[in-house]
Chain A
Amino acid sequence: MRSAKQFVTDFGWPRIIIFIFLVLLFVAAPFFRVRIDASISDVLNRFGQNGLFVLAMVPMIQAGCGLNFGLSLGIIAGLIGSTLSVQFGLLGVFGFFGAVGLSVPFAVFFGWLYGLLLNKVKGEEMTIAMYVGFASVMFMCIMWLILPFNGPTMIWGYAGKGLRTTITIEGFYRHFLNDFLAVRIGDSFVFPTGMLLFVGFCAFLMWLFLRTKTGTAMTAVGSNPDYARASGISADKMRTISVIISTVLGAAGIIVYQQSYGFIQLYTAPLAMPFAAVAAILIGGASVNKASMVNVLVGAFLFQGLLTMTPSVINSALQTDISEVVRIIVSNGIIIYALTRKTKVTK
Chain B
Amino acid sequence: MGQQGPLLSIDHISKEFYGNVVLNDVSFELKAGEILGLVGENGAGKTTLMHILFGMPVIADTGGFKGRICIDGQEVSFSSPFDALDAGIGMVHQEFSLIPGFTTTENIVLNRESMKPSILNDVFGDRMSILDRQDMKKRAEAAIEKLGVKLDPDMLVSEMPVGHKQFTEIAREITRSKTRILVLDEPTAVLAESEAEVLLKALRKLASLGIAIIFISHRLHEVTEVADRVVVLRDGIAIKDTPVAGVSVRDIASWMVGRSVATERVSEGEAREFGPEILSVEHLWVDMPGETVRDVSFSVRKGEILGFGGLAGQGKLGIPNGIMGLFQAGGVVRLHGKDVPLNEPRTALEIGMAFVSEDRRGVGLLLDESLKWNIAFTAMQIQGKYLKTILGGLFRIRDEAEMRKLTEEYIAMLDVKCTSPSQKAKELSGGNQQKICLAKAFAVKPDLLFVSEPTRGIDVGAKKLVLDTIHRYNRDYGTTIVMVSSELEELRSICDRIAIVDEGKIAGILPPTAELPEFGLLMSGLGANGSQEDLSA
Interface residues of A (CB under 8 A from B): 208, 211-213, 216-217, 219-220, 223-224, 226-227, 229-234, 289-290, 345-347
Contact (Cβ within 8 A) A231 B349: yes
Question: Cα distance A346–B425 when bound, in Å?
Answer: 11
Q: Would you give the shortest CB distance from B351 to chain A, in whole angstroms?
A: 11
Type the 1/0 row for B357-370, where 1 means its CB is closer than 8 Å to any CB of A.
Answer: 10101111111110
Contacts of A289 in B (CB 8 A): 368
A residues in contact with B349, CB < 8 Å: 231-232
Which residues of B, 372-395, contact A by the 8 Å Cβ criterion? 373, 377-378, 380-382, 384, 387, 395
Of the four ranges (under 10, 10 to 19, 20 to 34, 35 or more), the interface on chain B belongs to 20 to 34
Could you list 7 A-B pairs, sorted by A, with CB under 8 Å? A208-B397, A212-B397, A213-B384, A216-B398, A231-B381, A289-B368, A345-B368
Cβ distance A173 to chain B, nearest Cβ, rounded Å? 28
Q: How far is the CB of B327 from chain A (nearest CB, A)?
A: 11
Residues from chain B with a CB closer than 8 A to the CB of A229 are 326, 345, 363
**In the complex, which residues of chain B have a beta carbon less than 8 angstroms from the beta carbon of A208?**
395, 397
Residue B355 CB within 8 A of the other chain = yes
The interface centre, meaning the residue of A211, A212, A226, A231 with most chain B CB atoms within 10 A of its CB, is A231
Determine if A230 and B355 form an interchain contact, defined as CB atoms under 8 angstroms apart. yes
* Chain A residue at smallest Cβ distance from B394: A208
Q: How far is the CA of A212 from the CA of B386 in the complex (A)?
A: 11
Residue B369 contacts which of A212, A223, A347 (CB distance < 8 angstroms)?
A223
CB of A212 within 8 A of CB of B357, answer no
Contacts of B378 in A (CB 8 A): 231-232
CB-CB under 8 A for A230 and B366, given A208-B397, A212-B395? no
In this assembly, does B396 line the interface, its C-beta being within 8 Å of a C-beta of chain A? yes
Given contacts A212-B395, A217-B381, 12 further A-B contacts (CB under 8 A): A208-B397, A223-B367, A224-B363, A224-B366, A226-B362, A227-B363, A227-B377, A230-B345, A230-B357, A345-B368, A346-B368, A347-B361
Cα distance, A226 to B359, chains bound together (Å): 10
Q: In angstroms, how far is the closest chain A Cβ from the Cβ of B365?
A: 6
- CB of A233 within 8 A of CB of B381, answer yes
A232 engages B381 (CB within 8 Å): yes
Which residues of chain B are near A233, meaning CB under 8 Å? 346, 381
Number of residue pairs across A and B with beta carbons under 8 Å? Answer: 82
Cα A144 to Cα B319 in complex, Å, equals 57
**Are B395 and A232 closer than 8 Å at their CB atoms?**
no
Inter-chain contact B350/A216, CB cutoff 8 Å: no
A residues within 8 A CB of B359?
A: 226
Q: List the B side residues contacting A346 at CB < 8 Å.
A: 367-368, 426
Q: How far is the CA of A216 from the CA of B386 in the complex (A)?
A: 12
Complex Cα spacing A212 to B364, Å: 22
* Beta-carbon contact of A212 and B396 below 8 Å: yes
A230 touching B377 by the CB < 8 A rule?
A: no
A226, B346: Cα distance in complex, Å? 13
Bound complex: CA A92 to CA B359 (Å): 57
B363 touches A216 (CB 8 A): no
A289 CA to B384 CA, complexed, in Å: 25
Please tell me if the beta carbons of B369 and A220 are within 8 angstroms of each other in the complex. Answer: yes
Cα separation A219 to B380 with both chains bound (whole Å): 13
Is B523 part of the binding interface, using a Cβ–Cβ cutoff of 8 Å?
no
Q: A208: nearest residue on chain B (CB-CB)? A: B395
Task: Tell whether, in the assembled complex, residue A232 and residue B382 are in contact, meaning their CB atoms are under 8 Å apart.
Answer: yes
Give the nearest-CB partner of B369 in chain A. Answer: A223
Residues of A within 8 A of B362 (CB): 224, 226, 347
Please give me the residue from chain A that is nearest to B388 by CB atom: A211
Whether B345 lies near A232 (C-beta < 8 A) is yes
> Which one, A211, A217, A227, A290, contacts B365 given CB within 8 A?
A227
B residues 515-531 touching A (CB-CB < 8 Å): none
